[in-house]
Structure 1
Amino acid sequence: MGSIDAQIALLAICALFFLFGTGIWIGMSMIGVSITVMWMFAPAKPAGDAMATVVFSDLSSWTLTALPLFIWMGEVLFRTAISEEMFRGLAPWMRRLPGRLVHTNIIGCTIFAAVSGSSAATCATIGKMTVPELRRRGYPDAIAIGSLSGAGTLGLLIPPSLIMIVYGVQAEVSIAKLFAAGIIPGVLLAGLMMAYVAGWSLLNPTKIPPPDPAMPLKEKLRESSSLIPVVLLILLVLGSIYSGVATATESAAFGVIGSFAIAFWQRRLTLRNFWDSVMGATRLTSMILLILAGASFLKLAMGFTGLPRHLAETIAAMGLTPGMLILVLAVLYIILGCFLDGISMIVLTAAIVLPMIEQAGIDKIWFGIFITIVVEMAQITPPVGFNLFVLQGMTGKSIFWIGKVSLPFFLTMVLCLALLYFFPGLVSFLPDMMVNAAR
């Protein structure tokens, strides 16, 4: 690629980020820049025909149909308030742990993440239950809100995950394998967060309220019975995937049916919250699909400039080790996360980054988990961290204060990434088991 072409392509990328900064819809910004690039680099190819072809090809993927269904399942659980039973079921078991009820944030987010797929929905749903209760009992806002901010990101890592579906479509890898690969890292990250909360409480014993009176085992079990519907739904969704009974899309359909069945059985399904769940899922799906459409067209346009191939060849010529490349990409995504949401980050960079990791010999399933955790970090980095916005509206605190109290949990994600790099078997163990079981 000539230097003039490279300069024009880089100028187009700068124009794209400028449009993002003006508040224009991300999908429309990408389409506008793509049309301009096509006009400059491929004037003989009608931009409209090219856009229609590539967008239809990419968005008609059967795998992508799991996206609106998982979104709808999470919306049903959120709108019918089924998840509010979780705090009551978890609280009796936290009495003896250092940090006590703060752990309900992390465990609650871990459980809800397995039926939501959305970080913002996980954070909002669990936060509605736990923040008022923790404040009422005298827990410090810093640890209560910080732990919720960090643990809310587990909605992206623990399957089913909307980010993994988007990445899987972009990278052309198995969604079921990505889901399986996310389980151990998700549990590991939740454990690291709980370890931090326990350590903090041991160092600050006067800031943690005294424990509630001891509860008999029979009463604990009765309180925990409220967890049974959500746990059964998790087993239905994930079990149908990993047993080979259903594809990711079919398991998402099971999840929607199961969530409606639970809401109906608990007499929480009304015409109003049914309609709210439909409209909420429609709005979020439409936003994501517009971004994906813009990204598909941008990937095609950038292919005509030769920039992705040129960057991949440049990085290959630099002789970076896989570890150095991962470090560079982690810094890049953390910076992008200050300005873009996770889905935009993935679809915007896929055409450039995926050739690089293939050149370096990095497994695309492992990289999918890596990029998911880095996107989790972006959820709690100012000024455009989605979880920060959710918690700001819920607590009235400033975004930067929430970002500060979220910093320790940001660092636990860094530690988790380091462990996954040095012990990649944590990611590959379950997908390999799926492959072996299928033989």
Structure 2
Amino acid sequence: MDNLLSGIAIIVSLLAAIGFGIPVGIAMAAVAFAGMYLTVGVPFLMTTVGSLPYALSSDYAFVVVPMFIFMGSLTSVSGITQELYSAAHKWNSGIKGGLYYATTLASGGFGAINGSTVVSATLFTRIALPEMLRYQYSSAISAGCIAAAGTFAALIPPSLGMVIYAILTEASIGALLVGGLMPGLLTVAVYFVGIFIIVRVNKDAAPAIAERYSWAEKFGSLKGIWAFMTLAFLVLGGIYSGVMFPSAAGAVGAAGALLISLLRGRLTFRGLNDAVTQSVLTTASLFLIIIGGMLLSRLLLVSGFIGDISSLVESTDLNVWQFLAILIAIYLVLGMFVEGVSMMVMTIPFVHPVATSLGIDPIWMGVIVIKLVEIGALTPPVGINLFAVTGASEGRINMQTMFRGILPFLVMEAFTLGLIIAFPLISTWLPSQMYN
């Protein structure tokens, strides 16, 4: 009981620190320092602080993080993503709500070469939103579609969220990346059905068909996506075939993106500098959060909280469905106030042992957690994708409009989550076939 109270005090202290505006990574590290000092003493604290951050940051598995970020940054500054969207736009012309479908399709494709939801949402706000407003699409639904479609990058490989989850739980990075493919494609399919319903129920959601492209123009647009197809083949093909580990696939993808950008003559020195700077800053902020989270995890472990919470669950005969219901409630509440990676790092240290004790498949669990993180990125008032869209819209979208537009897409996400929970094979079948 004392250990449980200590763990609760640690969590409350962390939430209080975050509430005072302290950055999540620093808050977790500070609480961990204070907790170790009080519970296990200075020698253990100094040993942990001296060894854990270095061991974590020098882990070869983490090389995939900056590589995937750099690859995504290069595709955005060199115009590869714009050409992907242009092709999707032309192929969906002549369909009511065609730009919604194009944004969904292009975001799904972009997710295959970029692992960041924020980058995806920001980029497609700049590419798609002006077109949507020019053709008099609903500003609210347009903003909601862009923000929601940005989350595809969290499930469709390569996914930074999956990589971080795998490292936090010591699960197979490759199996988790493969496990996210079918749920990611399922989400795209649900969005297509949802958009079909929206544009027919809400007459103001999209205008009458105003633009059509010839078959020659449609097929001509496909010439512009060879760069995207090459990168997707390098990264996904390398992972799925087993030729490359995810860390190597990330490096090959980044090198491929750099080479393609140079060959196309689209990469300026300024663009390369922007891509490198963005990658370094994003990677550094992620590592700060992860190191802080691992220090906090070590504190929860040595304090006895994790062991006691697992024993408590076993003694109360909590079943899988009750556990998942509690997990969903926790993530939905946290998602309103805490960014996704921070939320994972804060919760996985005590959620994963409980899931393991209940015999939950780690791949299925990983997909559910990432899907909940996706929903958190869209949940007011602090959904990070909502801020990404409003910030990149340059004043054309305000938060009130954003909140209205995201609601139908949250319904779609809830429906998809229900399917993933009801049918675990959606997440586990492909990894079981490839990794047995």
Instruction: Please point out which of 259, 263, 267 is paired with 2:257.
Output: 259
Question: Which letter maps to 2:373?
Answer: V
**Runs of at least 5 residues in structure 1 that lack an aligned partner in the other structure:** none
> Structure 2 CA distance, aligned partners of 1:78 and 1:219?
23
Return the offset for 1:205: 4.0
Residue 90 of structure 1 deviates from its aligned partner by 1.2
Specify the alignment match of 1:404 in structure 2: 404
**1:207 Cα offset (Å):** 4.5
Counterpart in the other structure of 1:173: 171
For 1:160 and 1:374, the matched residues in 2 are separated by: 18
Deviation at 1:367, TM superposition (A): 0.6
Among 351, 357, 360, the alignment partner of 1:359 is 357
Q: How many Å separate the matches in 2 of 1:42 and 1:214?
A: 69
- What whole-Å deviation, never above 9, does each CA across 1:290-316 have from its counterpart, x for those lacking one? 111111111111112211222222222
Counterpart-to-counterpart distance in 2, 1:159 and 1:426? 15
Once the two structures are overlaid, the 10-residue window that deviates more, 209-218 or 24-33, is: 209-218
* CA shift digits 1:242-287 (9 cap, x unpaired): 1111110111111111111221122111111111111110101000
CA change 1:412–1:51 in 2 (3 A) is: same
Does the CA contact (< 8 Å) of 2:6 and 2:305 recur in 1? no
One-letter code aligned to 2:242? G
2:216 pairs with 210, 215, 218, which one?
218
Deviation at 1:317, TM superposition (A): 2.2
Shift in alpha-carbon separation, 1:7–1:435, aligned structure 2, 3 A: closer
User: In structure 2, the residue corresponding to 1:109 is in which secondary structure?
Assistant: helix
Match of 1:243 among 234, 241, 244: 241
Partner of residue 201 from structure 1, selected from 187, 199, 202: 199
Letter in 2 for 1:150: A
Superposed CA offset, 1:126-165 (max 9, x none): 2211100010011111221111111111111111001101
**3-state SS of 1:320 partner:** coil
Moved more, 199-208 or 246-255: 199-208
Name the amino acid aligned to 2:81.
S
Partner of 1:271: 269
Conserved? CA contact 2:390–2:399, under 8 Å: yes
- Report how far residue 44 of structure 1 moved: 5.9
The answer for the alignment partner of 1:6 in structure 2 is 4
2:132 corresponds to: 134
1:283-298, aligned counterparts within 5 Å?
Answer: 283-298=281-296
Change (3 A) 1:239 1:233: same
Equivalents in 2 of 1:55, 1:424: separation in Å?
35
Measured in 2, the distance between the counterparts of 1:180 and 1:46 equals 38
1:164 counterpart = 2:162: yes
Distance 2:202 2:264 in 1: 41
Q: Return the alpha-carbon distance in structure 1 between the equivalents of residues 63 and 179 of structure 2.
A: 21
Paired residue for 1:234? 232
Looking at structure 2, the residues matched to 214 and 47 of structure 1 have their Cα atoms a distance apart, in angstroms, of 66
Matched with 1:414 is 414
Number of residue pairs the alignment of both structures matches: 434
Aligned to 1:113: 111
Match of 2:81 in 1: 83
Cα deviation for residue 81 of structure 1 reads 2.9
C-alpha change, 1:344 and 1:251, in structure 2 (3 Å) is: same
User: How far off is 1:344 after superposition?
Assistant: 0.9
Q: How does 1:359-398 map to 2 (within 5 A)?
A: 359-395=357-393, 396=395, 397-398=397-398
C-alpha distance after superposition, 1:64-84 (max 9, x if no partner): 110011011111112223211
Which amino acid is the alignment partner of residue 423 of structure 1? F
In 2, the alpha carbon distance for the partners of 1:297 and 1:51 equals 8
Structure 2 residue identity aligned to 1:256:
A
Corresponding residue for residue 431 of structure 2 = 431
Given candidates 28, 42, 45, the residue that maps to 2:43 is: 45
Structure 2 unaligned runs (5+)? Answer: none
Amino acid at match of 1:330: I
In structure 2, distance between residues paired with 1:349 and 1:281: 26
Equivalent-residue separation in structure 2 for 1:323 and 1:400 (angstroms):
35
CA RMSD between the two structures: 1.6
What percent identity do the matched residue pairs reach?
Answer: 28
TM score, norm. by length of structure 2: 0.96
In 2, the alpha carbon distance for the partners of 1:171 and 1:7 equals: 24
- Give the structure-1-normalised TM-score: 0.95
